[in-house]
Structure 1
């Protein structure tokens, strides 16, 4: 009998932020994100200059946990989620830890997209979800082997989730997703009339 096994597994971590302390008030986090977006002229200027839909603080604010207590709490909780994911990944970190490199706000309006990308120079990346109105887009992950599949036939529509070329994940408000930073991903067009709000981050090997 043939023995068919899986090699080189790609892991995705998904959990409520509330599974790890301290508790984070997501209503407060949402209000803070919207307030920051309303005041961050430099961020809006960068978005306009770079054709970025909606708003991101990625290029304008690098100290959100220092400025806002709710972000400080969020980072403490994320640190604990990161530790759990790193253990699952069986990383040998030696005497160095995974430490937060950057954290930023994303506000995606109706019709906005975040095209496919990865996060170079980081080890683990992730997003926590602050507002996901009905009809808003899931996040799409791409099989990292895709560039090598130039002669492969397509997968069946009813293929097992782990065998598909693309995986769509529709998180809920208050959840966090973590993945290794080399995993290419994108956010398809937001079809909701309301804003999709998230907070993304990178961790490096410190």
Structure 2
């Protein structure tokens, strides 16, 4: 009888941020993101200059955990989640650690999108979700082999998740998603009237 195995598996980690302490108050985190965005003139200018919809602190603020205690607690929780994911991936870190490289706020208004991209020079990337109103964009993840499927026929629409070329994740407030940084991903058009707020991050092998 034929044997069919799954090879070269792509892992996606999803958990409640609260699964690992310390506790991060979601309302305080949401308020902090909004206040930071309103006060970050450099970030607002960068977004306007580069045609970025809404707001991101990616190009302006590199020290959120130092500025705001709630982000210090957030990083402690993320460290634990990333450690758990690294164990699942069975990474041989050779006595070194995965450490936070950068952490930034994203506020996407109605009609805003974030184009498909990867995170070079990082090992694990992810996002935790702060405000996800009804109709807010899912996260779209792409099969990393997609570019090599030159003459490959499309999959059936009903195919299993592990065979899909694109997978959509609809996280809830308080969720954290982690993936290996070479996975191409994007945020499709935000159909919600309210803003979609998240905090994204990268971890490097230190």
Structure 1 and Structure 2 fold alike (TM over 0.5):
yes
TM-score, normalising length: structure 1:
0.99
Partner-residue secondary structure (3-state), 1:189? coil
Q: Distance in 2 between matches of 1:95 and 1:192?
A: 45
Partner-residue secondary structure (3-state), 2:38? helix
Which 5+ residue runs of structure 1 have no aligned equivalent?
Answer: none
Partner-residue secondary structure (3-state), 2:73? helix
Deviation of 1:95 (Å) = 1.9
Equivalent residue, structure 1, for 2:138 = 138
Equivalent residue runs for 1:58-137 within 5 Å: 58-137=58-137
Which 5+ residue runs of structure 2 have no aligned equivalent?
Answer: none
The answer to whether 1:18 aligns with 2:26 is no
Which digits, 9 at most, give the CA deviation of each residue in 1:22-46, with x for residues without a partner? 0000100000000000000100111
Q: Distance in 2 between matches of 1:181 and 1:65?
A: 22
Deviation of 1:150 (Å) = 1.5
Which digits, 9 at most, give the CA deviation of each residue in 1:39-81, with x for residues without a partner? 0010011111111110000000000000001100000000000
Deviation of 1:21 (Å) = 0.7
Q: Distance in 2 between matches of 1:92 and 1:165?
A: 28
Equivalent residue, structure 2, for 1:159 = 159
Deviation of 1:2 (Å) = 0.8
Q: Distance in 2 between matches of 1:164 and 1:9?
A: 12
TM-score, normalising length: structure 2:
0.99
Q: Distance in 1 between matches of 2:162 and 2:181?
A: 19
Q: Distance in 2 between matches of 1:21 and 1:192?
A: 31
Give structure 1 regions of 4+ aligned residues with deviation exceeding 4 angstroms. none
